[in-house]
Amino acid sequence: MKNNFLPHIEDFLLDLTNNNYSLETVKNYKRDLFIFYRFLKLQNLSFKKTNKKTITLYKGFLKSKKYLEFLEGIDDYARDDGNISKSSSKGPRSDESDKSRLSSRSINRMLSSLRSYLRFLIEFDYKTPLAPDAIKLIKTERTISQVAEFVELVKLVEFPSSFEKNKFIAKRNRAILELLFSSGMRISELVNLNLEDLDLTEDRKNIRQGKIFIMGKGKKQRFVYLTERSKKYLSEYLSLRDDSFTALFIPTKGTRLKMENVEKIRISARYIQARIALYRRYLGIIVPTTPHSLRHGFATYLAEHGASPAAIQHLLGHESLQTTTRYVHASDKFAEESHRKYHPLKK
């Protein structure tokens, strides 16, 4: 990727880093702005002459399928929420690969990256072709949050034990899914876990405490909690570990195992996404199900059993309660039961 594809872009990224933005966030800004740069090149437009019409054209570009071809060569472009995806004909595909366009939320996120970049240029007295506030976000569609039935999620979590032929993979993948559903953590948080993040016995085979202190999105720290069941399957997985690797979850093959830096040897988010997609297809689960779905299900079913939104907000690591309500608003099942129970014209 060209380093200085937009004026002062390296200064902008450095400023983000110096303001304590996470490495992943900085990479996301860089990727979003690189796509804008590629759009300008495609349209034979100059950044210096960017105007409101340019932004209108850019919105149309993002809403079309054309943006997909410009993701080639951009590493780690897939967002945690699954709204940006790239289809592939090789190997298992994530459920989101069937989506051929960006959601309105993803488009707004990319427009916000451009806004932030323009604000930086103004703040540092660089020439700016367009005022940040001239970039209007698009109206977001109202979607019904979907999460698989509880019994289906349980089947998904348990599936590796019977499906995977390799004992280590079966134990590891079961522990991964148990941990995701037990704690509600993000997949990015899970793959970044190290053995030292758990309170382990000296032989590293058993977990003494049922909570993990993690660094979440935006470098926000919080505790996540384990069920006794998830501790059991994590311990079974750890009993098979006899290595010096740092990560909690490690791959069994591939180029990652050849890295000299043991801290970089860890399972990838893409592997987990692809495996969950495969499990879902074998189980015949109709509702699109991803690692994020386990987090969504975690919040939904806690809410249905009486957990307060404030508690769920803390467990999910959300800064705003408004963000949490997207997860814990009454589910379809809960709404249906309420309708049946309280509607005045029952008969």
User: Which of 83, 102, 108, 109 has its CA nearest to residue 25?
Assistant: 109
Name the 3-class secondary structure at 215. strand
Instruction: Give me the catalytic one of 27, 217, 241, 270.
Output: 217
Instruction: Give me the catalytic one of 174, 280, 295, 296.
Output: 295
- 347 classed as catalytic: no
How many Cβ atoms are within 10 Å of 319's Cβ, its own excluded?
12
Instruction: Give me the catalytic one of 31, 171, 186, 296.
Output: 186
Instruction: Give me the catalytic one of 115, 231, 280, 318.
Output: 318
How many Cβ atoms are within 10 Å of 57's Cβ, its own excluded?
15
Report which secondary-structure segment, H or E, holds 134: none
Phi then psi for residue 40, to 5 deg, are: -60, -40
Q: How far apart are CA 309 and CA 324, in angstroms?
A: 7
Sign, CA dihedral 197-202-205-210, equals negative
The DSSP secondary structure of 25-52, one letter per residue, reads HHHHHHHHHHHHHHHHHHTT--GGG--H
- 186 classed as catalytic: yes
Instruction: Give me the catalytic one of 58, 67, 301, 327.
Output: 327
- 79 classed as catalytic: no
User: Which of 84, 86, 96 has its CA nearest to residue 291?
Assistant: 96
- 329 classed as catalytic: no
Structure tokens at 130: 């367009």
Structure tokens at 267: 């399972």
Cβ 112 vs Cβ 132: under 8 Å: no
Sign, CA dihedral 173-176-178-181, equals negative
Q: How far apart are CA 329 and CA 319, in angstroms?
A: 17
Q: How far apart are CA 89 and CA 244, in angstroms?
A: 36
- 2 classed as catalytic: no
- 318 classed as catalytic: yes
Amino acid at 307: A
Instruction: Give me the catalytic one of 292, 329, 340, 346.
Output: 292
Cβ 223 vs Cβ 213: under 8 Å: yes
Angstrom CA distances, 80 to 41, 158, 211, stand at 28, 23, 23
Residues assigned a catalytic role: 186, 217, 292, 295, 318, 327
